Structure 1
Amino acid sequence: MPNEKLKLQNDASFHIPESGCLYIQKTPAVIEYFMQNFRIEEVHSDHLVIPYSTKAALFDMLNDIPETAELFTNVQPYGRSGMPLSLPLPYLKERIKHELLVKVIISGSLTSYFQPIIRMKDNKIYGYESLLRTNFPKRNIPPGLLFDVAHKTGLHSLLDLRAREAALEARAGKLPGGVKSFINFLPASIYDYKVCLRQTFTMIEQHDISPQDLVFEVVETEKISNVHFLKSILDVYRELEVEVALDDLGSGYATLETLKILNPNYVKIDRFFISHCDQNKVKQRFLQEVMNIANATGIFVLAEGIERKEELEYCKSIGMHYAQGYFIGKPSPEPELALAAKM
């Protein structure tokens, strides 16, 4: 696998020319196949050079290569040589297949919306979750699709960085000090947490944001494969006066046991357990168990996905601290400074 730090630094300038040459890492197991099936322009000690006339022709060529071939590839304009940045074969195929979305990720054509989070005891604004959106007013690209493409193309670290940049830029222009920003991050994107922290805190300083106004939120869309490594990352954030949150408790790998090990500042309950919690005894038992752990450890609990007044009232009745959801306020390009009287 190419060095992840090198990839992150170079992906912004990576370009697939309309015509040029495909550079393929040469291994004994595959060289005969390529020599027999493709016109080879050059043979170097470590790679083959195969010309292509259009991106469509390149994509067809890549599809002809057996999926079992574990190869690193690069593309460059015709006449240029070398492999300064190599990608696994599946990444290159997906980058051609999803060219528009790849351009969005690399260019950073992104912004951040605000979804309000209230303090239960007085229904006042406590903060906002920063939610990634694209900068295309007439074209809605779902954030989930962007992250899916980022994983398939090897751009998940870059997109995670771009999302943090967008969240901090939006906050700097629109939120006063003392209001929290909950900013997502993907555990699997942190290839070197010291590098990631340095990049993040450089952005924080550039925008003159107080670290105490930030909450970095572990998004439970990926398997938490090494919970103790993740804990070491969260501990470093907290040492730098940034609070941390565990998202989607009760879903997938974000379990009560994970909560006890990570001991975050905040835990956000998965919306499955919030939906109609006022009517469901099984959900109520789970929520009460969360509250027992939270009360014993000093963790603040946030209910996500509040869509009915009855859900809000039940969560408040068992002592939850914060809430967000469509009943409270939808994501918006501008923060809602005053909430409706319906609460």
Structure 2
Amino acid sequence: MPQVTELNDLQVFPDGVRQVTCRDCLAEASDRLGFAFSMAFQPIVDIDRGEVYAYEALVRGPNGESAGSVLSQVNDQNRYYFDQAARVTAIRLAAELGIEANLSINFMPNAVYKPQACIRATMEAASIYGFDPRRLIFEVTEAERITDRGHLRSIFDEYRERGLLRAIDDYGEGFAGLNHLIELEPDLVKIDLNLVRGVDDHQSKQAVIRSTAMMCEEMGIELIAEGVETREEYETLRSLGLNRFQGYWFAKPGFETLPIPEMP
């Protein structure tokens, strides 16, 4: 990782990137990024409790354009600013919408220079907008290639110390598999949608999810099935012991709104 020169409360990195605060990161992001973006929100439901467990913040264009149209503009030069601004934007919108559930935010570990410094704007945003940071979940996708596993572990450790929930997204699709569960000790794991798709008619997928559910229960990790699109998928996953779900069958993402899910 690059060396950091500390100047009072300001972090200055060799490439000229400095630690921004919640108050200036959105304004600075406009200059650094050269593009605008917003968020959509999709509920994660808890069937046992009959309520929304969390809303995941999903990046969108300023007028609801696809995530791909935004992420295609992120590069090595602006990744840090995008990651910081995305966190603040998600918290600000969630607070304005009056979210009462947890808020799940995707983050880019390769954009985090120093965990202690890079979380400051997030915590400041939570304070400014009156959002309890204990309701924040930070998701890292297993499909993203991680070049420095020790650095990712240090991020997870820092977030744990601050009382933030940590999740592995796309479990079963990426590069690390079981090693991520052992090394990162997440609070939550989201089963990749490719395992969920058509699970009702696929015994091998059922066996993998069943064993994953048993393993996570023993490790004290909450399991979420994402990408659920049919009743048959839901009922099969329910029979395998899962109780938290996300997907179009419950609700599609709402652009700058909090959709109310259909509960079975």
TM-score, normalised by the number of residues in structure 1: 0.66
For residue 118 of structure 1, what is the aligned residue in structure 2? 45
Q: Does the 8 Å contact 2:116/2:158 carry over to 1?
A: no
Residue of structure 2 aligned with 1:240, choices 162, 177, 200: 162
User: What's 1:296 paired with?
Assistant: 218
5+ residue gaps, structure 2, are 3-11
Shift of 1:160: 1.0
CA contact (8 A) 2:88 2:121 kept: no
One-letter amino acid of the structure 1 residue matched with residue 74 of structure 2: A
Q: Deviations over 1:99-156 (max 9, x none)?
A: xxx421xxxx32221101100324421111111112236xx2x3223223212x5211
Tell me how far apart the structure 2 counterparts of residues 320 and 13 of structure 1 sit (CA, whole Å): 39
- Letter of the aligned partner of 1:156 in structure 2? R
**Residue matched to 1:65:** none
Question: Are 1:280 and 2:202 matched, yes or no?
Answer: yes
Displacement, 1:221? 4.5
**Structure 1 residue aligned with 2:9:** none
Judge conservation of contact 1:147–1:156 (CA < 8 Å) in 2: no
The match for 1:143 among 59, 67, 83 is 67
1:223-255 deviation line (CA, Å, top 9, x unaligned): 122323212211211111111100000112241
Amino acid at match of 2:241: G
Equivalent position SS for 1:145: helix
Aligned to 1:171: 94
Task: Give the letter aligned to residue 157 of structure 1.
Answer: Y
Could you give the per-residue CA deviations for residues 307-334 of structure 1, whole angstroms, max 9, x where no partner exists? 0011111111111131100111001021
1:30-68: CA deviation from partner (whole Å, max 9, x where unpaired): xxxxxxxxxxxxxxxxxxxxxxxxxxxxxxxxxxxxxxx
What is the Cα deviation at residue 260 of structure 1?
Answer: 2.1
Change (3 A) 1:308 1:103: same
Contact preservation (8 Å) 1:187, 1:219: no
Residue 25 of structure 1 aligns with which residue?
Answer: none
Q: What do the CA deviations read for 1:268-309 (whole angstroms, capped 9, x no partner)? A: 011000001111111112112211210111100000100001
1:330 aligns with 2:257: no
Letter in 2 for 1:270: D
Alpha-carbon contact 1:291-1:320 (below 8 Å) kept: yes
Maintained 8 Å contact 1:185/1:218: yes
The 8 Å contact of residues 121 and 316 in structure 1, kept in 2 or not, is answered as no
- Structure 1 segment 208-219 matched on structure 2, within 5 A: 208-219=130-141
**Corresponding residue of 2:113:** 191
Give the conservation status (yes or no) of the 8 Å contact 2:29–2:82. Answer: no
Alpha-carbon RMSD across the aligned residues, in angstroms, is 2.4
Answer yes or no: is the 8 Å Cα contact 1:227–1:262 preserved in 2.
Answer: no
Q: In structure 2, the residue corresponding to 1:340 is in which secondary structure?
A: coil
Q: 1:295 to 1:260 in 2, by over 3 A?
A: same
Q: Give the counterpart of 2:17 among 7, 28, 34.
A: 7
Q: Do 2:165 and 2:187's aligned partners in 1 also have CA atoms closer than 8 Å? A: yes
Contact 1:110/1:134 (8 A) holds in 2: yes
Note the C-alpha offset of 1:7. Answer: 2.4
Unaligned runs of 5+ in 1: 16-94, 96-101
Q: Distance in 2 between matches of 1:4 and 1:131?
A: 31
TM-score, with structure 2 as normaliser: 0.85
Seen in structure 2, the aligned counterparts of structure 1 residues 336 and 295 have a Cα distance that, compared at 3 Å, is: same
Identity of counterpart residues, as a percentage?
30
Give the residue type in structure 2 aligned to 1:110.
F
* Aligned residue identity for 1:210: D
2:92 aligned with 1:161: no
Larger Rg: 1
**Alignment: residue pair count:** 247
> For residue 283 of structure 1, what is the amino acid of its counterpart?
K
Whole-Å separation in 2 of the counterparts to 1:116 and 1:13 = 27
